[in-house]
Amino acid sequence: MMRFLLLFSRQGKLRLQKWFVTIAEREKKKVIRDMTSMVLARKPRSCNFLHWRDLKIVYKRYASLYFCIGLEDQENELLGLEVLHRYVELLDQYFGSVCELDIIFNFEKAYFILDEFLMGGEIQETSKQIVARAIESSDMLQEADSSDSDWVEVELFGWP
């Protein structure tokens, strides 16, 4: 299962954190520090996997954002990459050409989407449509949001 999922910027600023197991605050800080420094130090054309303590770290960069998960030993690294990819797809579907600012200004929405996608460190729902429906139904009463998402910015998918 997954132990945590972190989103951070190229400058090492944390954008989203999700912990699937109980971890002490100090330990969380250490993980975040280690992840940002390790992942940001990776050279281009390196593989997307790292080891950290007994965990497998899988990370991927989408535009200016790094998505990073800590997997337990038996997990499949390639599948981890696809978990990240599907999450980005879900964000993209919700925000429409998602960019880092969408996530900064609407981070709570990013959390809600994540909660529909993952649960207890495991995949809960892989279908884009079903996640969208679930989010929609709980958003129902939500105000039609301001023009935040119309800002012109580099899309996460715009990068190779």
Partner 1 sequence: MSDVVEKTLTALPSLLSLDSQSGSGKLSSTSKLGSLIRGITELTSKHEEEKLIKRELVAIKEQVSSPNTTMRQMKEIMVRAIYCEMLGYEASFTYIHAIKLAQQGSVLEKRVGYLGVSLFLNESHELLLLLVNTVLRDLQSTNLIEVCMALTVVSQMFPKDMIPAILPLVEDKLAHPKEIIRRKAVLALYKFYLIAPNQVQHIHSKFRKALCDKDPGVMTASLHIYLLMIKESPDVYKDLTGSFVTILKQVIGGKLPMDFNYHSVPAPWLQIQLLKILALLGKDDQSTSEIMYDVLDECLRRAEMNHNITYAILYECVRAIYTIHPKSELLEKAVKCIGNFVLSPKINLKYLGLKALTFVVQQDANLALQHQVTIIECLDHSDLMIKRETLELLFRITNGQNVTVIVEKMLEFLRFSNDDYSTIDLVGKVAEVAEKYAPDNGWFIQTMNAVFSLGGDTMQADIPNSFLRLLSEGFDSEEEDRHLRLFAVDSYVRLLQEDPAKLPQRFLQVISWVLGEYSHLRDDLEATTVTRLLARLLDLNHTSNETRSWVLTAMMKLCEGPACAALVQQVCDRYTGSLDTVLRQKAQELQHLSQDAELRSRVMTRRCTLEPLEVDSSLSFLDGFVSEALAAGAAPYKPPHQRQEELSQEKALSLEPYGLSLPVSLSSCCISDRQSPTLLSVSSGNSTDPSQRAAPTTLKLDGVKRVWGKQGYLAQKEVVEEAAQVEGPSPLLSSSQQGSADSPQTQTPTPEPDLQRQQLASALFVGLGAQNAVCLMGKTDAVPQRFRRKPRGHGSSSGSVERSSLSSHSLLGNNLLDSTNIPSDEVVSPKNTERTPDLTATNGTCDPEETPSPDETAAHVLPLTSGIGMETMEPATHTDPDRPRNPCLSSHLPAELSGMARSDIAPLCSNRSLALSACTVSTEDTFLLILFVSNSSDSDVQHLLLQLTCTGELEVSCLSDGAPEELAGHGVAVYKYSLVMKTPSPQVELAGVVSYEMPLGEPQAAQFSHRLYLTDFIRPLPVSTEEYGRMWLSYTHDTKQNLKLVQDDQDPLTATLNALKEKLQLHVVDIIGLEGIVACRLLQGQPCLMHCRVHDNSLAVWLRSPVLELPDCLLYHYQKALQEH
Burial of 31 (0-12, 13-18, 19+ CB in 10 A): buried
Query: Count of CB atoms within 10 A of residue 158's CB?
Result: 11
Euclidean distance between the first and the last CA atom of the chain, given in angstroms as a whole number: 28
Closest approach of Cβ 88 to partner 1, in Å? 13
Which listed residue (10, 37, 87, 96) binds partner 1 by CB under 8 A? 10
Burial of 65 (0-12, 13-18, 19+ CB in 10 A): buried
Q: Which is nearer to partner 1, 29 or 96 (CB)?
A: 29
CA nearest neighbour of 37 among 64, 63, 78, 8: 8
Which listed residue (12, 40, 105, 132) binds partner 1 by CB under 8 A? 105
Which listed residue (30, 37, 96, 119) binds partner 1 by CB under 8 A? 119
Q: How far apart are CA 5 and CA 81, in angstroms?
A: 12
The site map against partner 1 for 44-83 (x = CB under 8 A) is: -xxxxxxxxx---------xx---------x-xxxx-xx-
CA nearest neighbour of 68 among 135, 128, 15: 15
Contact between 143 and partner 1 per CB under 8 A: yes
Contact between 40 and partner 1 per CB under 8 A: no
Contact between 26 and partner 1 per CB under 8 A: no
Which residues form the interface with partner 1 (CB under 8 A)?
1, 10, 14-17, 19-20, 22-24, 29, 43, 45-53, 63-64, 74, 76-79, 81-82, 85-86, 100-101, 104-105, 107-108, 111-112, 115, 119-120, 122-127, 129-130, 134, 137-138, 141-143, 145-148, 151-154
